[in-house]
């Protein structure tokens, strides 16, 4: 596996590969890799000649400075995991090269930045869009792989960032979960055993809440969810929303509940976690 830090070198290698008609699959990450990330890597390995993984903890997408400082970092373990999978190129750029002082690209994120994560994390998606655009510009992949765990991010990248790149296809892959149902997340590493155990109950509650759509009104569903979470002393819900899978428009009472997803964000101790799933 090649490990590259320099943006110039990376661009050069990617251009050479394209010239040789090699297809490039790309998985952008912030490291502290787990099976969720590896599922994306494996898919890329199956579908492309060359797979590139980037690890860059993007300061622009952290609206909470403490969350940025405490974000888990384990570069050596990440490198070994990627090597074992057969990843071809690991790109580990530094901040000054990703965001040079004259880089001022901004995106019109519109409605998608006003709901759920957009509403609770001001500036987050602008930071995500800016870093993903920059990475696409450098890697210039044919296909890029994202997890549906970050569903709103997937929508924003597909609809706002990817269209700048003509022959780029975006793939969204299902959330990889623990046996308990808890969605894998690098932030789970920050949970105490008790917080971890308590957080593991949330996906089941989410599934039950999803099943209530169309049968109970939104307030009743939210009240029930809040009451269930309050049984766990470390958990605190932030939002519970039902939004359309394509448009992210909130569910309106009386709509037919088809093609909706349920979205949650909650705290376990001081660790903020998100999850979402399709309403069956």
Enumerate binding residues for ligand AMP (CB under 6 A). 29-30, 36-37, 39-40, 146-147, 149-150, 173, 175-176, 183-186
Q: What is the DSSP letter of 251?
A: P
Q: Is 244 among the catalytic positions?
A: no
Are 269 and 207 a contacting pair, CB within 8 Å?
Answer: no
Distance in Å, CB of 135 to ligand AMP, minimum:
11
Here the tokens at position 53 are: 């993984």
Q: Which is nearer to ligand AMP, 26 or 212 (CB)?
A: 26
Instruction: Tell me which residue has its CB nearest to ligand AMP.
Output: 147
Cβ-based burial of 94 (10 A; exposed 0-12, middle 13-18, buried ≥19): exposed
Distance in Å, CB of 219 to ligand AMP, minimum:
30
Q: Where are the alpha helices (DSSP H) in the chain?
A: 7-19, 35-47, 65-69, 75-85, 95-98, 117-120, 124-139, 151-156, 193-199, 202-212, 218-229
> What CA–CA distance (Å, rounded) separates 275 from 260?
14
Q: Which is nearer to ligand AMP, 184 or 213 (CB)?
A: 184
Distance in Å, CB of 184 to ligand AMP, minimum:
4
Distance in Å, CB of 266 to ligand AMP, minimum:
16
Q: Which is nearer to ligand AMP, 146 or 225 (CB)?
A: 146
Here the tokens at position 173 are: 């892959």
Q: Which of 34, 37, 140, 142 is flagged as catalytic?
A: 37
Angle between the 124-139 and 7-19 helix axes, to the nearest 10 degrees?
Answer: 50
Q: Which is nearer to ligand AMP, 135 or 240 (CB)?
A: 135
Q: Which residue shows structure tokens 């169309």?
A: 214
Q: Which is nearer to ligand AMP, 39 or 82 (CB)?
A: 39
Nearest CA-CA partner of 239 in 199, 272, 278: 272
In our burial notation (b when 16+ CB lie closer than 10 A, e otherwise), range 145-184 reads bbbbbbbbbbbbbbbbbbeebeebebbbbebbbeeebbbb
Here the tokens at position 245 are: 């899978």
Distance in Å, CB of 126 to ligand AMP, minimum:
16
Question: Active-site residues: which are they?
Answer: 37
């Amino acid at each position: 596996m090649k490990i590259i830090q320099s943006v110039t070198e990376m661009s050069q290698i990617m251009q050479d590969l394209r010239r040789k008609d090699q297809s490039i699959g790309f998985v952008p990450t912030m490291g502290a890799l787990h099976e969720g990330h590896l599922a994306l890597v494996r898919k890329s390995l199956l579908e492309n000649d060359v797979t590139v993984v980037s690890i860059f903890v993007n300061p622009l997408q952290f609206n909470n400075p403490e969350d940025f400082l405490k974000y888990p970092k384990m570069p050596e373990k990440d490198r070994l995991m990627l090597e074992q999978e057969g990843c071809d190129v690991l790109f580990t750029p530094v901040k000054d090269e990703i965001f040079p002082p004259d880089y001022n690209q901004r995106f019109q994120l519109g409605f998608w930045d006003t709901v759920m994560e957009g509403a609770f994390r001001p500036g987050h998606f602008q930071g995500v869009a800016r870093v993903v655009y920059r990475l696409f510009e450098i890697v210039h992949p044919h296909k890029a792989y994202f997890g549906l765990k970050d569903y709103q991010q997937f929508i924003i990248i597909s609809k706002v960032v990817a269209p700048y790149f003509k022959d780029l296809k975006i793939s969204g892959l299902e959330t990889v979960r623990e046996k308990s149902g808890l969605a894998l997340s690098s932030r789970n590493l920050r949970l105490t055993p008790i917080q971890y155990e308590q957080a593991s109950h949330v996906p089941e509650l989410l599934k039950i809440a999803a099943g209530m759509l169309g049968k109970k009104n939104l307030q009743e569903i939210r009240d029930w969810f809040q009451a269930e979470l309050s049984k766990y002393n470390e958990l605190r819900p932030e939002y519970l929303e039902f939004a359309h899978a394509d448009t992210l428009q909130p569910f309106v009472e009386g709509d037919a509940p088809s093609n909706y997803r349920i979205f949650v964000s909650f705290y376990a101790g001081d660790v903020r976690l998100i999850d979402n799933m399709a309403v069956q």
